[in-house]
Amino acid sequence: MSHPDVDERTLTQLSLLAPLSPDAVRAARVRGRCRAQLARRARSAEPQPGFGRRVLAPLIVLSVCGIYLFSLVRTTLHLTGVL
The closest alpha carbon to 24, from 16, 12, 32, 13, belongs to: 32
What's the mean pLDDT in 45-69? 86
Calculate what percentage of the chain has a pLDDT beyond 90.
43
Q: CA-to-CA distance for 49 and 17, rounded, in angstroms?
A: 58
Q: CA-to-CA distance for 55 and 53, rounded, in angstroms?
A: 6
Q: Please check whether residue 15 is in contact with residue 6, taking contact to mean a CB–CB distance below 8 angstroms.
A: no
What's the mean pLDDT in 17-28? 87
- Phi/psi of residue 33, each to 5°? -65, -40
The pTM score is 0.42
pLDDT, greater one: 5 or 34: 34
pLDDT band at 45 (very low <50, low <70, confident <90, very high): low
Average pLDDT for the chain: 87
Q: CA-to-CA distance for 46 and 42, rounded, in angstroms?
A: 7
pLDDT, greater one: 4 or 22: 22
Residue 52: HSE in the Cβ half-sphere, 13 Å Cα cutoff: 2
pLDDT band at 6 (very low <50, low <70, confident <90, very high): confident
- For the chain, the domains span 22-80
